[in-house]
Amino acid sequence: MPQGIANQKMHHLPILQHPDRRLRIKASLVEHFDEKLADQAEKMLATMYDAKGIGLAGTQVDFHQRVIVIDVSENRDSPIKLVNPEIELIGETVSNEEGCLSIPGVYDSVKRSDRINVSAQAIDGSALEMEAEGLLAICIQHECDHLDGILFIDHLSSLKRKRINEQLKKTPE
């Protein structure tokens, strides 16, 4: 691999912060599976790990294509890259505390399915099917929401959203 590409892959991407309107853009289907897409996914992973996150959607780094990266492993050594993911809810609805790299410092309880089926493509375009449960299922749902322009705070009551937005306005940059 040429040196320039290796250095480029370690480049971290800026994460958009709420209320940036670009977080509300619905991502497009990925149609081209090439080195550029693979490089973008690697940059997203590096950015996610650096930010101490467990998931990151293309939308959060101003890349409006349907790509998410996730690693919920304890050792941070089991990255998952999903392109054009579609989910089917198959589990019980549970409440879990969620946070978001695009809304730092804000955590609240969100109801999601504890088990899902996922149909997606790998970075090379090959078909990928999996069942996910627990934290992985919740994280995939959270990241898929981002691809549709939905933030986790959109699942909260309007009063909670209003308080969070007021709190964020008071927080110095």
Residues annotated catalytic, as ranges:
143
Longest dimension (CA), the chain: 52
What is the rounded CA–CA span in Å between residue 48 and residue 173?
A: 20
Determine contact, residues 94/86, Cβ cutoff 8 Å.
no
